[in-house]
Structure 1
Amino acid sequence: MVDVVDKATRSRMMSGIRGKNTHPEIFVRKGLHATGFRFRLHAKNIPGRPDIVLPKYRALISVRGCFWHGHDCRYFKVPSTRTEFWLAKIESNRSRDMRDVARQQEDGWRTLVIWECAVRAGRRVDPLLDVIGLTIDWLRSVSAHAEMSENGMVGD
């Protein structure tokens, strides 16, 4: 299928997509802050620059977009144009994510990945009890790593 906009317009549109301070990330930050948690943002001294750093809990939270990180959910679909490029790009993102989480854990951090689909699903139900509640439960646990998606929390 041919793109509906010219190459320059598509390039401008794609360059406008943010890597930090996204809507799902802000949603999680507001929920944590409202419940009394204090944190740092995008720490440059930690591998992968996680979105939320909670030093008191020795915990890192990364909020990932389902498309950009190739999450296996209804929000991810391989584009029908330039398929090879997109598959390589997404695989590169996945590899970097796994490498960053491994380095973070080697440095003694606990890691939580919150997928965009979890935040979207949380908005349909009760977000404070859903996404934020599960995040708080994880912070208070001893779990070293967990991932949250629209299907709930999976961890060790």
Structure 2
Amino acid sequence: MADTLTPEKRSWLMSRVRGRDTKPELAVRQTAHAMGLRFRLHRRDLPGRPDLVFPRHRLAIFVHGCFWHRHEGCAKASTPKTRPQFWDAKFAANLRRDREVERQLIEGGWRVGTIWECETKDRRDLEATIAALLVHR
């Protein structure tokens, strides 16, 4: 299916995609707070600026969008039909960066967790995921 938007309109629309304070990230933050957990946001002194940092647990959590970070097996991780070379390079760079940031955090003594966008829809499942990340050592 061809893109129904002009290149200018598509560019404008894509420029509106936010990197922080997204709906999935807010859902994780609200759930963690309701669980009585305290955390820091986007710590600049850590590689990759994790979305949530639990210093007491030495845990850094990233809330990844399924599309941008290629959640394997997820329907939201589809690849656009137009400009496949651009998208393949973009996604490969994102995945390389994710692996490098995770490596740096682990070497720094941190545990790293990822919560996917599609996992933020059900509150009880999200609570269980957060709890599992906190106790898993």
Task: Count the aligned residue pairs.
Answer: 136
In the alignment, residue 135 of structure 1 is paired with which amino acid?
I
Among all aligned residue pairs of Structure 1 and Structure 2, give the percentage whose two residues are the same amino acid: 43
Aligned residue runs from structure 1 range 111-150, under 5 A: 111-120=112-121, 122=122, 127=123, 129-142=124-137
In the alignment, residue 87 of structure 1 is paired with which amino acid?
D
Structure whose residues are more often helix by fraction: 2
Q: TM-score, normalised by structure 2?
A: 0.95
Once residues 60 and 119 of structure 1 are traced to their aligned partners in structure 2, the CA distance between those partners, rounded to angstroms, is: 17
Q: Match of 1:71?
A: 71
Question: Is the 1:70–1:91 contact (alpha carbons within 8 Å) kept by the matching residues of 2?
Answer: no
Once residues 5 and 125 of structure 2 are traced to their aligned partners in structure 1, the CA distance between those partners, rounded to angstroms, is: 38
CA-CA distance at 1:60 after TM superposition: 0.5
Q: Match of 2:16?
A: 16
Q: TM-score, normalised by structure 1?
A: 0.83
Structure whose residues are more often strand by fraction: 1
Q: Match of 1:32?
A: 32
Q: Structure 1, unaligned stretches of length 5 or more?
A: 143-156
Q: RMSD between aligned alpha carbons?
A: 1.1
Once residues 113 and 138 of structure 1 are traced to their aligned partners in structure 2, the CA distance between those partners, rounded to angstroms, is: 9
Secondary structure in 2 aligned to 1:33?
helix
Secondary structure in 2 aligned to 1:71?
coil
In the alignment, residue 48 of structure 1 is paired with which amino acid?
G
